[in-house]
């Protein structure tokens, strides 16, 4: 990504600027301006249909394949507009990984799932791959549970284990940012708690952005909140400050369960 124009005012790891998105005639995001802070957990919250997933997916250019989807504005990663035609998406997605609501392990072994991205990025040394698989599974708090059955099918794992496996797979390629779209909504409370603890640990080294409709989860784990409503960003800031003293009536209504 060396040849793209550096945008000097994009100082944070991710800056979304004057960003609009449409599905056909329907405008899903309206003039979004946010910055994401490095090595923090940022939670995007708001009622169903407000555009949370669209924003998160746009940060990873996941909506590029939707024919009627179009955007205007910029999303900068480390100062470069990711919608610049010169951006190498494979390299970008190595740095900015994505985890979805429903864990989707590949129908292969636990080991192969974690090693998959490494092989795509040309790592061939078996010892190196073994090492990274172990480190990634340890970081995802799954190693102890699977170390003796690495060659078993990933599909035999529980939902919570599968979600941690998918996180290990994202970590294996050494990302800087991990985007998670409702990562615990398909999990039971204990599996959810494990993922929340894991995200807190990971935020020491990685920048985490999570979309969640679970307000108490957002309050529990996030450093920064971004409240959206009907495609607009209504309020953002430090979680503790927004909870204690929301500046916008809509935010207050959402926090008090009056909209949602």
Ligand X SMILES: Nc1ncnc2c1ncn2[C@@H]1O[C@H](COP(=O)(O)OP(=O)(O)OP(=O)(O)O)[C@@H](O)[C@H]1O
Site residues for ligand X per CB under 6 A: 23, 26, 28, 46, 48-54, 66, 213
Nearer to ligand X, 8 or 26 (CB): 26
Rounded Cα distance between 179 and 97, Å, is 6
- Least distance (Å) from ligand X to the CB of residue 25? 10
Cβ neighbors of 139 (< 8 A, separation 6 or more) are 168, 171, 201, 202
Nearer to ligand X, 45 or 199 (CB): 45
- Least distance (Å) from ligand X to the CB of residue 56? 8
Nearer to ligand X, 44 or 198 (CB): 44
Nearer to ligand X, 51 or 160 (CB): 51
Nearer to ligand X, 26 or 144 (CB): 26
φ, ψ at 53 (rounded to 5°) = -65, -35
Closest CA to 253 of 234, 240, 237: 234
- Least distance (Å) from ligand X to the CB of residue 211? 6
Q: What is the largest CA-CA distance in the chain?
A: 57
- Least distance (Å) from ligand X to the CB of residue 73? 16
- Least distance (Å) from ligand X to the CB of residue 233? 12
Nearer to ligand X, 16 or 137 (CB): 16
- Least distance (Å) from ligand X to the CB of residue 18? 18
Rounded Cα distance between 171 and 133, Å, is 9
Structure tokens of 31?
Answer: 């003039």
């Amino acid at each position: 990504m060396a040849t793209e124009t550096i945008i000097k005012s994009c100082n944070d790891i991710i800056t979304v600027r004057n960003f609009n998105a449409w599905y056909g005639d329907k405008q899903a995001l309206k003039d979004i301006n946010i910055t994401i802070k490095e090595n923090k957990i940022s939670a995007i919250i708001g009622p169903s249909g407000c555009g949370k997933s669209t924003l998160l997916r746009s940060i990873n250019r996941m909506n590029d394949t939707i024919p009627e989807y179009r955007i205007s504005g910029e999303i900068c990663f480390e100062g470069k507009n990711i919608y610049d035609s010169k951006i190498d998406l494979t390299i970008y997605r190595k740095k900015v990984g994505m985890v979805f609501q429903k864990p989707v392990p590949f129908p292969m072994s636990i080991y192969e799932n974690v090693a998959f991205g490494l092989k795509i990025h040309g790592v061939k040394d078996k010892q190196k791959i073994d090492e990274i698989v172990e480190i990634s599974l340890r970081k995802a708090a799954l190693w102890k549970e699977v170390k003796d059955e690495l060659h078993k099918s990933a599909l035999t794992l529980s939902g919570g284990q599968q979600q941690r496996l998918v996180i290990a797979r994202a970590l294996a390629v050494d990302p800087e940012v991990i985007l998670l779209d409702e990562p615990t909504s398909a999990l039971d409370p204990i599996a959810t708690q494990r993922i929340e603890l894991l995200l807190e640990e990971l935020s020491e080294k990685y920048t985490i952005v999570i979309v969640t409709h679970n307000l108490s989860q957002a309050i529990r784990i996030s450093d920064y909140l971004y409240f959206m409503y009907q495609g607009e960003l209504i309020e953002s800031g430090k979680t503790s400050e927004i909870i204690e003293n929301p500046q916008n009536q809509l935010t207050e209504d959402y926090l008090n369960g009056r909209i949602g």
